[in-house]
Amino acid sequence: MSAPRRVGIAGVGYYVPERVVSNADLAQSLDTSDEWIRSRTGIRERRIAAADQAASDLGLAAARQALADAGVAGESLDLVIVATASPDMVFPSTACLIQNQLGAVKAGAFDLTAVCSGFSYALTTGAQAIAAGEAERVLVVAAEKFSGLLDWTDRATAVLMGDGAGAVVLTSDAPRGEILASVLGADGTGIEQLGIPAGGSAQPATHATVEQRLHFMKMNGPEIYKFGVRIIGESVAQALAKAGLPESALDLLIPHQANIRIIQSAAKRFNLSMDKIVVNIDRYSNTSAASIPIALAEAKQSGRLQPGMIVATVGFGAGLTWGANILRW
């Protein structure tokens, strides 16, 4: 059996909507304040998509930027994977919408749902397709329009989420961003901690489900916080070990942007100063699956990613799910 092929990130891109909604804006209609939100989450503002923008529109913009960065044409793609928990519609997939707009006529396309872990799952899946020789060029997109899934009268959740998209192009000959190891995990016993109860086959939409506001995100905040603090450290440590690297080799951490206190706990766990962690939650809030690739793209564009760096990306979210990837830039 031949050895798995090397897989790297040839290009990155991201898109966030133009509209900025500050904490002060939310405080006009919610029982909250800028200080309350910032002290508990680290969020200062978030981007909210226009009414005529869907997840596919955000993802398409990020995808085009990533393809341009990689110097890869849409028609040369073999696979398009979209991580999203806020698809344009139940079906067909958001990936097919993006595939069509890019002219990726020979590419397979599908959506993947792991919510805030979605990018970790999609990146791993795309890399495995190339490593196995089933694809040469894979586009991985994470696109979320969570603003349409929020109860804007619920202070506990309305302040947390924003809209955006990130994308990467994977190839076997990328000069940077080699994926050294990946770890994925799930614990279905925590399925009730975070989710949208209605709208699926278990609870189809009815007048009752709408009246009971069951089509909006519900979350057990304290439990998700404890889960995030624990699982970031565990999954990154496992991925580093799988890559054959000591924890001291870690140069840069790009975590899911869920809560600044969770991120700070990760810094303490790996004895990292905050300048070795990419943080943008203050500007974009929690963009679910999109948070990691947005942060990755910003890190590359700002020059924070330097050749040879060992970089860990890590996500966690509903399911419960989690995933970590180790890159050599």
Question: For 278-287, how does the pLDDT look when each residue is reduced to its tens digit (9 = 90+)?
Answer: 999 999 999 9
Confidence label for 124 from pLDDT (cuts 50, 70 and 90): very high
Q: Cβ distance 284 to 292 under 8 Å?
A: no
In a domain, 2, yes or no: no
Model confidence, pTM: 0.96
Domain count, the chain: 2
Give the closest residue to 159 by CA, choosing from 278, 52, 281: 281
In a domain, 242, yes or no: yes
The amino acid present at 14, given as its one-letter code, is Y
Residue 213, by phi and psi: left (phi above 0), alpha (psi -120 to 50) or beta?
left
Confidence label for 175 from pLDDT (cuts 50, 70 and 90): confident
In a domain, 95, yes or no: yes
Are 158 and 239 in a shared domain? Answer: no
Can you give the pLDDT at residue 5?
87
Confidence label for 1 from pLDDT (cuts 50, 70 and 90): low
State mean pLDDT over 110-132.
98
Percent residues over pLDDT 90 in the chain? 96
In a domain, 269, yes or no: yes
Out of 151, 174, 197, a domain closes at 174
128 pLDDT above the threshold of 80: yes
Phi, psi of 163 (to 5 degrees): -110, 150
Are 25 and 167 in a shared domain? Answer: yes
Q: How many CB atoms lie within 10 A of CB 159?
A: 24
Q: Cβ distance 118 to 142 under 8 Å?
A: yes
The amino acid present at 161, given as its one-letter code, is M
Are 156 and 12 in a shared domain? Answer: yes
Catalytically active residues are: 116, 256, 286
In a domain, 1, yes or no: no
CATH of the domain at 155: 3.40.47.10
Give the closest residue to 192 by CA, choosing from 321, 319, 323: 319
Are 145 and 217 in a shared domain? Answer: no
Residue 58 to residue 16: CA distance in whole angstroms: 7
In a domain, 3, yes or no: no
Out of 174, 207, 223, a domain closes at 174
Are 106 and 202 in a shared domain? Answer: no
Of the candidate ranges 2-6, 34-38, 288-292, the one whose mean pLDDT is the lowest? 2-6
Are 188 and 141 in a shared domain? Answer: no
Are 161 and 238 in a shared domain? Answer: no
Out of 130, 157, 174, a domain closes at 174
Domain that holds residue 318: 180-328
Are 43 and 134 in a shared domain? Answer: yes
State mean pLDDT over 35-52.
97
Are 267 and 201 in a shared domain? Answer: yes
State mean pLDDT over 28-52.
97
Are 143 and 202 in a shared domain? Answer: no
Residue 74 to residue 271: CA distance in whole angstroms: 41
Average pLDDT, the chain: 96
State mean pLDDT over 129-143.
98
Q: Cβ distance 45 to 23 under 8 Å?
A: yes
Are 167 and 19 in a shared domain? Answer: yes
Can you give the pLDDT at residue 4?
76
Are 138 and 18 in a shared domain? Answer: yes
88 pLDDT above the threshold of 90: yes
